Amino acid sequence: MIKYHPEQSQLTQFVQGNISPAEALIVSAHCDLCHRCRQFVQHQTQLIAAEVFDTPQPKDSLENYGAMLAAITQLPASETAPAAPDNKLNLSTPEPIATSTLVKTLELDGHQFTLPPTLQRIAAKTGNWSGLVGRLWQAPVELNYPGVANFIYMGRGGSVPEHTHRGVEYTLVLDGEFNDGINHYRTGDFVVMTDDNTHAPHSEHREGCLVFTLLDEPLHFTSGIARLLNPFSHLFFR
Per-residue interface string for the shown chain with another protein, residues 80-99, x marking contact by CB under 8 A: -x--xxxxx-x-xxxxx---
Shortest reach from residue 140's CB to another protein, in Å = 14
Which is closer to another protein, CB of 182 or CB of 219? 219
β-strand partners of 108: 111
Q: Report how far residue 116's alpha carbon sits from residue 173's, in angstroms, rounded to the nearest whole number.
A: 11
Nearest to 176 by CA among 126, 106, 235: 106
Choose, by CB under 8 A, the member of 77, 98, 110, 128 that binds another protein.
77
Which is closer to another protein, CB of 93 or CB of 179? 93
With beta carbons less than 8 A apart as the criterion, state whether 174 and 123 touch. no
- Taken as a whole, the chain contains a residue count of 238
Which is closer to another protein, CB of 1 or CB of 68? 68
Shortest reach from residue 113's CB to another protein, in Å = 25
Choose, by CB under 8 A, the member of 17, 127, 131, 157 that binds another protein.
17
Choose, by CB under 8 A, the member of 2, 13, 38, 45 that binds another protein.
45
The pair phi, psi for residue 7, each rounded to 5°, is -60, 150
Which is closer to another protein, CB of 17 or CB of 131? 17
* DSSP conformation class of 129: -
Number of chain residues interacting with another protein (CB under 8 A): 70
Q: Report how far residue 175's alpha carbon sits from residue 145's, in angstroms, rounded to the nearest whole number.
A: 26
Q: Report how far residue 165's alpha carbon sits from residue 228's, in angstroms, rounded to the nearest whole number.
A: 20
Per-residue interface string for the shown chain with another protein, residues 204-233, x marking contact by CB under 8 A: ---------------xx-xxxxxxxx-xx-
With beta carbons less than 8 A apart as the criterion, state whether 133 and 203 touch. no
Choose, by CB under 8 A, the member of 38, 163, 186, 207 that binds another protein.
163
Q: For the residues of 137-194, what is the DSSP string, one character each? A: EEEEE--SSSSEEEEEEEPTT-B---B--SS-EEEEEEEE-EE-SS-EE-TT-EEEE-
Choose, by CB under 8 A, the member of 9, 75, 98, 107 that binds another protein.
75
For position 196 contacting another protein by CB under 8 A, the verdict is: no
Q: How far is residue 5 CA from its own chain's centroid?
A: 13
Residues lying near another protein in the complex (CB under 8 A) are found at: 15-18, 20-21, 24, 42, 45-46, 48-50, 52-58, 60, 62-63, 65-78, 81, 84-88, 90, 92-96, 133, 144-146, 161, 163, 166, 219-220, 222-229, 231-232, 235-236
